[in-house]
Structure 1
Amino acid sequence: MLLRSTVFHPTQPEMISHSSSYIECKPDNALSSDISLLYEFNINEQLSSMLPVIPDGCLDLLFCCDPSRPFAVVAVSPRHRCSYHFRTNVTYFGVRLIPDQTSLQFHCSVKELLQFEQLPLFEVTKVESNLLEKIASLSTFQERVAFFSSFLLSRQNEKTETYTLVSYCLNMIYAAKGLINIRKLAEATGYTDRYVRKKFEQSIGFSPKSFSQIVRLQYSVQELLSQNININSLVESCDFYDKAHFYKDFEKYMSLTPVQYKNTYSPK
């Protein structure tokens, strides 16, 4: 079962616009099968402590580097645009995990994690609590990236048959920009619809249909916020039936029209 890996980097544009001192970087190649993005930000007192996030299908590890009260959580992908609370004047270090990563093991299924917005990292993972102390003690983003990358490299596991199946399905979904159904995934892998759905939900938390819708939304958002595209071109490039269907699907997840979102969050 072979399929060329398709690059998919989900975005959180409101995290960038609502925070100060935002910085990010892609992982080294050795970790690209586990990490989508490493980032850091601070919310100052002039900005709202409620930070909007949109569906991206990923799990984020968030380390609050407050010297007096550090903490770490696993933040799940919401099913619809919502807001998470953050402390002001505190540095947060974040790691966005690839949906089919295998280095970080959880005490429960990802599907169970999705029932919550955020969960204490050390209650749901097999990770020693001194990881937080070390990350919080470091002074720069580059130091935190280097330390966490080294930590995760030491935990990489052998890929299982389920991983191979799920990764293959994910790459089909990415390549189709979310425009694919469970029947095509089953036909391509040689398994039944039910088996593919079961293994996918166990590993990713979402059903193949729900995850495909998130991927389509992410591609729509990234295209929408690019400088040189209009709504009509976006409807065509993302293969929506017409503008009305695009608006309906977008507002279902974002609670804003595409025009409102573009006018508010396009890079200035």
Structure 2
Amino acid sequence: MNYQTFEPHPDLSALVKFYWTLQVPFDPNNEKQKIIPDGCIEMTFNLKDKIKRYVSEDDYLLHPNAMIMGQRTKSYFIEPVGDVDSFAICFYPYGFANFVGSSLQELVDIETPLETLFGKAAADTLEEKIIHAANTQERIAVIEEFLLDRLNQNTTIENLVMTTVDALMETNGNTPINQILKDNLKQRRKLERDFRKQIGISPKQLGKVLRLHTALKMILNEEESLTNIAYESECFDQAHFVKDFKEFIGTTPKEFLGNKHMELSTLFYK
């Protein structure tokens, strides 16, 4: 597997976290790979063969070649049917809302073809340019021209939404929402509505994703003991942390390490 990341242009750096590429030669012995939510929305282009996304043990859907992967509330399995060559844009939690007018709640836990959001003509033109670009740098230039042209100057991310996302990201999901809102119930209801529209999921869901994502990186890098990781994730004890981890990822922290189905996630998050 060859995975690389690239920095965005400064004009997009507040909205785009990074670009990434992934090349994986086909191997009939490859295992399904589990993808774990990270709190971001991605625009992805498959430049070679199709990729399956499993909806049950045996049933699957084929990813569109050019798509938006909405916020995820649960882990899921994918499996390539041939060679993998992918180029993708990873947006910050409130980044993608600046390029579309629809509610991002409609994109949660699904893959949406680009033409659904940008129209067939624009989506087809963009996909053709990405496919025929000579290298990654040309693809980045193509997508940045598209994003800067699509940047909706009339889209205003609610200040409270941005403040909440920033607070959650700065503390790895550990800032209590009540602390941000100062127990203002009316304001909380508005935040919930605006958050689902402009982020896709609730503040509580994003906080949980960020906490477990951070814990996962610490486990992969063997930075702390499970007890310390549980404490830093604001769980009552190690048992609660292991329970939350297994519910979200499908394995215990110890089972995650070295798991053949987690090789891709290990690559992404390490």
TM range (shorter): 0.7 to 0.9
Separation in structure 1 between the aligned mates of residue 154 and residue 99 of structure 2, nearest angstrom? 13
- For structure 2, the residue ranges without an aligned partner over 5 or more in a row are 51-63
The answer as to whether partners of 1:165 and 1:189 remain within 8 angstroms in 2 is no
TM-score by length of 2: 0.80
CA deviation after TM superposition for structure 1 residue 205, in Å: 1.2
Code of the aligned partner of 1:60: E
Q: Which residue does 1:62 correspond to in 2?
A: 44
Code of the aligned partner of 1:57: G
Code of the aligned partner of 2:9: D
The question of 1:180 aligning with 2:149 is answered: no
Q: Which residue does 1:100 correspond to in 2?
A: 94
Match of 1:22, SS state, is strand
The answer as to whether partners of 1:43 and 1:49 remain within 8 angstroms in 2 is no
- Within 5 Å, give how 1:135-214 maps onto structure 2: 135-158=130-153, 162-187=157-182, 192-214=187-209
Q: Which residue does 1:250 correspond to in 2?
A: 245
Describe the superposition over 1:117-156 as per-residue Cα deviations: whole angstroms up to 9, x where unpaired.
2121111235442000000001212221222123222333
- Within 5 Å, give how 1:22-33 maps onto structure 2: 22-33=3-14
Q: Which residue does 1:40 correspond to in 2?
A: 21
C-alpha spacing 1:188/1:170, structure 2 compared with 1 (3 Å): farther
Once the two structures are overlaid, the 10-residue window that deviates more, 249-258 or 174-183, is: 174-183
Code of the aligned partner of 1:105: V
Q: Which residue does 2:69 correspond to in 1?
A: 75
CA deviation after TM superposition for structure 1 residue 252, in Å: 0.7
Separation in structure 1 between the aligned mates of residue 190 and residue 105 of structure 2, nearest angstrom? 16
Code of the aligned partner of 2:8: P
The answer as to whether partners of 1:53 and 1:81 remain within 8 angstroms in 2 is yes
Describe the superposition over 1:162-194 as per-residue Cα deviations: whole angstroms up to 9, x where unpaired.
432211110111123212333223229996111
Q: Which residue of 211, 234, 248 maps to 1:216?
A: 211
CA deviation after TM superposition for structure 1 residue 44, in Å: 2.1
Code of the aligned partner of 1:219: T
The answer as to whether partners of 1:177 and 1:216 remain within 8 angstroms in 2 is yes
Q: Which residue does 1:118 correspond to in 2?
A: 111
The answer as to whether partners of 2:22 and 2:85 remain within 8 angstroms in 1 is yes
C-alpha spacing 1:34/1:154, structure 2 compared with 1 (3 Å): same
Separation in structure 2 between the aligned mates of residue 129 and residue 228 of structure 1, nearest angstrom? 45
Question: Which 4+ runs in 1 deviate beyond 4 A?
Answer: 188-191, 265-268
CA deviation after TM superposition for structure 1 residue 33, in Å: 1.6
Report sequence identity in percent.
24
TM-score by length of 1: 0.81
Code of the aligned partner of 1:252: E
Separation in structure 2 between the aligned mates of residue 261 and residue 211 of structure 1, nearest angstrom? 22
Code of the aligned partner of 2:204: K
CA deviation after TM superposition for structure 1 residue 75, in Å: 1.4
